[in-house]
Amino acid sequence: MSVRLGYYPGCSQGSSAAEYDISTRACCKALDVELVDVPDWTCCGSTPAHTVDHHLAGALSARNLRQAEGAGLASVTTPCPSCLAALKTADLHLAEPAFRTEVERLLGGPAPGHVDCKSVLQVLYEQIGAEAVTAKVKKPLAGLRVAPYYGCLLSRPPALMAFDDPENPVSMDALLRACGAEIVDFAYKTECCGAAFGMPRLDVMTRLSARILGAAVEAGADCVAVACPLCQMNLDLRQGQVDSAAGRAASNLPVPYFTQLMALALGLSDADACLNKLVVPLEPALAKAAARAREAAAAKAAKEAAKKQSKPAAADAAKPEAEKEASCA
């Protein structure tokens, strides 16, 4: 089943999060999701706008919803959780007459009607699904241990985002498992990374990101998969700052977007996966995972060979137990 959606990239997709944009577009194409760019989109206002004024934030987002509506796009998807929260918040409050009036004053024209907004993660999980992903996997991420990090906003607050579990989201787990990865038990899935405090309060941001990276290392993860440009920047680009503030050796933990991992599994090109944009390289982790997968396969083969060799004896030994089970049933 093919899906057609408006696509709102968000400002960072053109520069600091280019790999998220490229890998998202490539994965969607491979999975039959048609993305139509919202024409002439502008900034949603993100966090700074709502911390200054709710109507200002509403108007900046509403302009984009109006652009989507004008292009006949009733549903819009965005890879960025902060953009998503801004768009959904505006859409929700535009139903209030007083809010709508003030937003229309700021827009200098009519505000849009309802536009359905979803994260790319939600679209891939709900509208495509893990099974359909598995069916298209060409190079399984066998042996790769991934800590899935969702960040604050993808499923929170639940009344607004209406997606996945607010405390223990599992959508990314399912998609990456469908890609053959091993998902480690990770308790920091939704703990805040320090968000936009990297510039104004680096001390606050490094303290929070240090906990997340530390927990992922402790969980035995080869990498942390993310779905947010700001989380990615804090955990990857600023990883050196985080480790040095925590007074510890380099974590050396790659932080790819989940769409980059999916692109690899779907057998898409290097240009689509864009691994060269990551600050902490993923390749060593992939090599380690491949070696681990080979070892596991060899161990399994050896075990089977051993089983085959001692088959008559094993069959005899198993017999009484099988009989016992049968009698129990």
Partner 1 sequence: MKTIDLESSRDTAFMDAVACESGQELKSCYQCGNCTAGCVYTHDYDLPVHQVIRLVQLGQKEQALSCRSIWLCATCQACTTRCPNNIEVARVMDVLRHMARRQGKTPERLVKTFADSFLKSVARHGRVFEAGLAMTFAIKSGKPMQDAGLGPAMLTRGKLAFAPHEPSNQAKTEVAGIFDRFAAGKPACHAEPTAATTEAKQ
Beta carbon of residue 252, minimum distance to partner 1 (angstroms, whole number): 14
CB closer to partner 1, 190 vs 251? 190
Would you count residue 42 as binding partner 1 (CB under 8 A)? yes
Bridge-partner residues for 34, per DSSP? Answer: 4
Buried b (16+ CB within 10 A) or exposed e, 295-323: eeeeeeeeeeeeeeeeeeeeeeeeeeeee
Which x/- pattern, by CB under 8 A, does the window 227-246 give for partner 1?
A: ----------xx-xx-----
- Distance, CA of 324 to CA of 329 (rounded, Å): 9
| Token pair listed for 191 | 């703990």
Residue with tokens 């535009």: 94
Looking at the Cβ atoms of 32 and 165, the one nearer to partner 1 is 165
Kindly identify the residues of this chain, within the stretch 167-196, that bind partner 1 according to CB under 8 A. 167, 190-192, 194-196
For partner 1, the binding residues in 282-321 under the rule CB under 8 A are none
Q: Rounded to the nearest whole angstrom, what is the least distance from the CB of residue 106 to partner 1 in the complex?
A: 5
- Stretch of 106-114, 118-126, 142-150, 178-186 lying at the interface with partner 1 (CB under 8 A): 106-114
The nearer residue to partner 1, 160 or 246, going by C-beta atoms, is: 160
Q: Which of 1, 131, 185, 199 binds partner 1 (CB under 8 A)?
A: 199
Applying CB under 8 A, which residues contact partner 1? 11-12, 14-18, 40-43, 45-56, 59-60, 63, 92-93, 95-99, 102, 105-108, 152-153, 156-160, 166-167, 190-192, 194-202, 204, 207-208, 237-238, 240-241, 276-279
